[in-house]
Amino acid sequence: MESMVKLAKNFRSFADLAAAYERDRDYRIVRLLRTESEVAILAPHGGSIEAHTSDIARDIAGRDFNLYLFEGLLKAGNFAALHLSSHLFDEPGCLDLLKACQSVISVHGCGHVGEIVLMGGRDAALRESIGERLRGLGVECEAAPAGLDAADPMNVCNRGRGGAGVQLEVSLALRRSPRRALLVRAVREALLVAEA
């Protein structure tokens, strides 16, 4: 039976994933709505797909911002099975939430060495604001390279009302470190200033 595992790299949409895996057994969707906020914080590869991205997204959202998590629950192989590329991530509940949001930030994991945040997405102003705060707190950050830069308008971080969001690719060392609290602080400060 294990040889029948369906791989996310072959999926073209969320419908493909949902046809292959069972909600609340293989994966979970968490949506926490803050109707007074026009900001959504996403972890589209949360749970065991990209470790600790759900925790970081939850901490950024706090009680202020909308939260959306897609979390892998399989015993093993979550990344291969459930990592639906961000430009294909069209889960209806997520897109419905984003329609009401001006700003979108998605939290991902990357394989870079050391504690670093690679920043992408089409919202240059918000990206710069977060970057300034990260550097001020002593957290290394740089522009994401092509392929991780979330420049595609169909990338889930760019599918809010404004058509531009920010994608944060966070290295495992930083995701595991208590210093990830500095990332959370930088993003929250940038968002609270933007919303004021």
Tell me the pLDDT tens digit for each residue of 109-156: 999 999 999 999 999 999 999 999 999 999 999 999 998 999 999 999
Domain 2-195 superfamily per CATH = Poly-gamma-glutamate hydrolase, zinc-binding motif (3.40.630.100)
As a whole number, mean pLDDT of residues 97-118 equals 96
Average pLDDT taken over every residue of the chain? 95
* Maximum Cα–Cα distance across the chain: 53
Residues 6+ apart with CB under 8 A from 36: none
Q: H-helix or E-strand containing 92?
A: helix 92-99
Domain boundaries, the chain: 2-195
Query: At residue 10, does pLDDT exceed 60?
Result: yes
CB 161 within 8 A of CB 104: no
Residue 140's closest CA among 121, 165, 112, 103? 112
Looking at residue 102, its amino acid is Q
**Beta strand ranges found along 9-165 (DSSP E):** 27-32, 39-47, 66-72, 103-110, 116-120, 140-143
Q: pLDDT per residue over 166-178, tens digit each?
A: 999 999 999 999 9
Query: At residue 1, does pLDDT exceed 60?
Result: no
Copy the structure tokens of residue 136: 């001020």
pLDDT for 16 equals 96
As a whole number, mean pLDDT of residues 60-89 equals 97
- Rounded to whole angstroms, the Cα distance separating 130 from 39 reads 14
Q: pLDDT per residue over 27-63, tens digit each?
A: 999 999 999 999 999 999 999 999 999 999 999 999 9
- Rounded to whole angstroms, the Cα distance separating 130 from 37 reads 19
pLDDT for 5 equals 66
Q: β-strands 166-171, 116-120: how paired?
A: antiparallel
Query: At residue 3, does pLDDT exceed 70?
Result: no
- Rounded to whole angstroms, the Cα distance separating 183 from 63 reads 17
